[in-house]
Amino acid sequence: MKTLVQRVLGGDKRAAAKLISMIEDDEPGARDALRKLYRHTGKAHIVGFTGPPGAGKSTLISRLIKEFRRRRKTVGVIAVDPTSPFTGGAILGDRVRMPEASLDPRVYIRSMATRGHAGGLALATFDAVHVLEAFGADVVFVETVGAGQSEVEIAKRAHTTVVVEMPASGDAVQILKAGILEIGDVYVVNKADLESAGAMVSNLEQVIPQRSKGWRPPVLRTVASEGTGIAEVAEQLERHWRQLHASGELAVRELARAETELRGALAEAALHRLAAKPATERKLHRALKESPRGRLTSGPWRKSSSAEPALSTDTSPRRRSLPSRRTHDRDDRPSERLYREGEMSERWQAEGARGRSSWSPRRLGSNGEAWRQSSRHF
């Protein structure tokens, strides 16, 4: 009887599927299996796709799957869609745009719900990427939720980031202020048969910065629904992969990637530990009862200063944090009751959820420079 790990390494889809589910559910054995798989990973080209909903990310990926299969590559896809913050359920619909692919044994597509993780990805996304690498994928496409401007986590975790835009999705100001436009290695203006495509392309060309030495991000035009421009996108992805190797940038990004993964794991572990203490829950209940609604901070949980009042009225979102959403019975949490009563805005909730990951857009700075510098530093 082969073990799950051996079956994944042998290219068994069902085994890979089971292992990804185990990782998603944080089941015992998942971590052990991942550890064993780890030394079989690290060879695949990880390509992240982000951009506003409806820009055509899924359709583009579906075309690229075919193109990379033509180039005799094994392709893995992780497509992330949002979990409903109210019910915990999700409708994962990216597969609709990727028909026929699952009959090919050298293509593996997996849908994934964010399960409360902010940043456009699920917590399990990159562990799942490792599984697909071990499964034998030469290239792994990761499709983010694509809710707009904050989905930049992908840039820290993929080798190549593709930003998919469409014509008429905003004027030059929108383009400038969106953090999403500073993370791409390749830009794709999809639906390029629309009238304003030319304006979008020239706007982009004016504002996108160079992300790494020796690579000027190209702006490409596609009509994914018809398959136009796809070969050129594939060509540029492969060119960027070669360039990362040639310039030594790959090592820098790999280190930054490892750091992000480690920090994420650490933050997760710390939150689990904190949230597992009954005292945390008691303090949370008390604080919510005592404070004016929606105007409390993480003050009561911080050990640091006794001089600090237990509850302040500071509403700085960065300092708010709630125990991990995952470890509690959904109905039992006071926060959940507040959502139900409509007292808390969705934004508040998003801030709370953001507290779970190590990722903070603030740290990046408005131009992404901080991250670039810190990754060079390594």
Scanning 89-97, 254-262, 281-289, 306-314 for contacts with another protein by CB under 8 A, the matching segment is: 89-97
Return the residues of window 121-160 that contact another protein according to CB under 8 A. Answer: none
> In the bound complex, what is the minimum distance in angstroms from residue 2's beta carbon to another protein?
13
Nearest residue to 355 via CA among 268, 290, 253, 280 = 268
Long-range Cβ contacts of 22-27 (<8 Å, 24+ apart)? 23/124, 23/127, 23/128, 23/131, 24/112, 24/115, 24/122, 24/124, 24/128
Report in angstroms how near the CB of residue 110 gets to another protein at its nearest.
6
Dig out the tokens for 104 from the structure: 């090919």
Residues 23-52 as x/- pattern, contact with another protein by CB under 8 A: ----x-------------------------
Question: Which of 36, 41, 69, 90 contacts another protein by CB under 8 A?
Answer: 90
Size of the site for another protein (CB under 8 A): 28
Q: How far apart, in whole angstroms, are the C-alpha atoms of residue 205 and residue 187?
A: 9
22 scored as a contact of another protein (CB under 8 A):
yes
Tell me the two tokens of residue 251. Answer: 């090592």
Instruction: Specify the pairing of strand 139-143 against strand 45-50.
Output: parallel
Q: Could you give the CA distance from residue 207 to residue 187 in angstroms, rounded to a whole number?
A: 12
Q: How far is the CA of 291 from the CAs of 177, 280, 294, 332, in angstroms?
A: 35, 16, 8, 19
Q: How far is the CB of 119 from another protein (least distance, A)?
A: 19
Site for another protein in 50-79 (CB under 8 A): none
Distances in whole angstroms, Cα of residue 98 to Cα of each of 143, 164, 166, 281: 12, 17, 20, 43
Sheet with 160-165, strands from edge to edge, namely 107-113, 75-81, 139-143, 45-50, 160-165, 186-189, 219-221
Residue from 38, 43, 53, 91 touching another protein (CB under 8 A): that is 91
The residue within the footprint of another protein, chosen from 46, 60, 78, 113 (CB under 8 A), is 113
In the bound state with another protein, the residue whose beta carbon lies nearer, of 4 and 9, is 4
| 309 is an interface residue for another protein by CB under 8 A | no
Does 100 engage in binding with another protein (CB under 8 A)? yes
Tokens representing 303?
A: 């050990």
Q: How many CB atoms lie within 10 A of CB 90?
A: 16
Q: How far is CA 330 from CA 36, 51, 273, in A?
A: 34, 31, 18
Q: Counting contacts by CB under 8 A, is residue 205 touching another protein? A: no
- Residue 192 binds another protein, judged by CB under 8 A: no
194 binds another protein (CB under 8 A): no
Name which of 109 and 204 has its Cβ closer to another protein: 109
Span from 81-89, 274-282, 291-299, 310-318 in contact with another protein (CB under 8 A) = 81-89
Choice between 79 and 183, CB closer to another protein = 79
Taking Cα atoms as reference points, which of 44, 74, 78 lies closest to residue 61? 78
Closer to another protein by CB, 107 or 219: give it: 107
17 binds another protein (CB under 8 A): yes
Contact 185, 160 (CB under 8 A): yes
Q: Measured from the CB atom, is 89 or 292 closer to another protein?
A: 89
Residue whose CB is less far from another protein, 103 or 307: 103
Task: State the residues that interact with another protein by CB under 8 A.
Answer: 13-14, 17-18, 20-22, 27, 83-84, 87-93, 95-96, 99-100, 102-103, 108-111, 113
